[in-house]
Amino acid sequence: MVGIWLENQHISVREDLAEPVPANGEALVKMRMAGICATDLELIQGYYPFTGVIGHEFVGEIIRADAQPARIGERVVGEINARCGHCTECRAGRVNHCRNRTVLGIVARNGCFAEYLVLPIENLIPVPDRIPDEQAVFTEPLAAALEIQEQVEVRPRDRVLVIGAGRLGQLIAQTLRLTGCELRVIARHANQRALLNSQGIAVLDENQIPDRAADIVVEATGSQSGYEAARRAVRPGGTIVLKSTYRGELSANFSAIVVDEITLVGSRCGPFQPALRLLAENLVDPVPLIVGRFSFRDGLAGFEHARQPGGLKVILTPDGR
């Protein structure tokens, strides 16, 4: 099969990949559509030493499921963490932190930038018919955006600042807007600002960051400067949500965090069913984030497009449509 392979921080298109064979309890999924995210770009830069097919945002179709053959033909999205079910974390219900987990396209499991993938059938969630592929492919990052509200209570009276308006920052802003909070977003690029303005979301420039005024700050840039801006903006006793992975070390004045009693929240994967519900009810519209479509064979060009300053969502499909 054709797929995009990462090895030694270099990606290539390979046409000689073996079609994966599902293990016991797994299903074989044929790709319909997949999305490039910031984590994929960071993997190429050495964020994590992964070798294999990358990619973890997808919508596909189950074509083999020996344990549950009735599910063959389902259009599905997939939770990316495959658990062992036996470790301390799994037994405590913290399956996303399974000590033996594999992670689709990130840790010890080939991802979705290929014609087929395998995942445990319990990870595969049916997509309602009324959600088109162009929306369904955003389920995983939309779930990640919703995880913020699973971890932190966001109230209508809260002053909330999102720093970063890229692929994930846009979805975070759309989901936070639904809480009725006083929302502001720091956006660097004109196309990012235009998307936010079109949805009635207030946009600030980098030089307009409020000083010690926000109850909650979501840092969605994954950069040292983004964290520093978040620290400057949050009020004493406030909360900073770290929503992006950081390549390398992050420097912080922890004495000041203690003195100001700041809560730091790391935030990763999130709930799929609420994400699908928002899409089905048209409460979130991610489709305007799509800026390019490429086939797997043209995937290198797709990655170049995704790397452009202010880049938003690039979609990969088996045939480029």
For range 247-255, the mean pLDDT:
87
Domain membership flag for residue 273: no
Same domain, 101 and 197: no
- Checking if the pLDDT of 18 tops 90, the result is yes
Whether 3 shows a pLDDT value over 80: the answer reads yes
Structural domain contains residue 250:
yes
Residues 14 and 132 in one domain: yes
156-184 average pLDDT score? 97
pLDDT score of 206: 85
Q: Is the pLDDT of residue 193 over 80?
A: yes
- Whether 28 and 154 map to the same domain: the answer is no
**What's the Cα-to-Cα distance from 38 to each of 10, 55, 113, 213, 247, rounded to whole Å?**
16, 10, 14, 29, 11
DSSP state of 272: H
Element (H, E) at 148: helix 139-151
CATH of the domain at 54: 3.90.180.10
In which domain, by residue range, is 40 found? Answer: 3-138+286-317
DSSP string, 281-315: TTS---GGGEEEEEESTTHHHHHHHHTSTT--EEE
Return d(Cα 19, Cα 114) in angstroms, integer: 9
CA distance to 26, 71, 95, 108, per residue, from 100 (Å): 17, 27, 10, 10
Total domain count, the chain: 2
Task: Tell me the angle at which helices 139-151 and 167-177 cross, rounded to the nearest 10 degrees.
Answer: 50
Q: Examine residue 143 and state whether it is found in any structural domain, yes or no.
A: no
Q: How confident is the model at residue 21 (pLDDT cuts 50, 70, 90)?
A: very high
Q: Is residue 174 in a domain?
A: yes
Mean pLDDT of 218-222: 94
Whose CA is closest to 296, among 1, 7, 4? 4
**Per-residue pLDDT at 249 exceeds 90:** no
DSSP state of 107: B
Average pLDDT score over residue span 279-286:
96
Query: Are 19 and 134 contained in the same domain?
Result: yes
Other C-beta atoms closer than 10 Å to the C-beta of 266 total 9
pLDDT confidence of residue 299 = 96
Beta carbons of 136 and 120 less than 8 angstroms apart: no
Per-residue pLDDT at 311: 86
pLDDT of residue 115: 98
Pairing between strand 234-242 and 263-266? parallel
Residue 29 CB contacts under 8 Å (≥ 6 apart), including other chains: 58, 60, 61, 62, 63, 76, 78, 116, 117, 118, 119, 124
Q: Mean pLDDT for the chain?
A: 95
pLDDT bin (cut points 50, 70, 90) of residue 310 is: confident
Strands 116-120 and 102-103: unpaired
User: For residue 73, is pLDDT > 90?
Assistant: yes
137 pLDDT band, cuts 50/70/90, is very high
Does residue 320 register a pLDDT over 90?
no
Of the candidates 238, 38, 28, 224, the residue with the CA atom closest to the CA atom of residue 123? 28
pLDDT of residue 138: 98
Q: Give per-residue pLDDT as tens, 46-65.
A: 888 999 999 999 999 999 99
Confidence tier at 321 by pLDDT (50, 70, 90) = confident
Is 200's pLDDT higher than 80?
yes
Weakest mean pLDDT among 20-24, 46-50, 257-261: 46-50
User: Looking at the domain assignment, is residue 164 inside a domain?
Assistant: yes
Helix, strand or coil, per DSSP, at residue 112: coil
How buried is residue 20: exposed, middle or buried, by Cβ count under 10 Å (0-12/13-18/19+)?
A: buried
In a domain, 144, yes or no: no
Mean pLDDT, residues 87-91 taken together: 96
Q: Kindly state whether residues 21 and 133 are assigned to the same domain.
A: yes
Q: Is the confidence at residue 186, as pLDDT, over 80?
A: yes
CATH code of the domain covering residue 206: 3.40.50.720
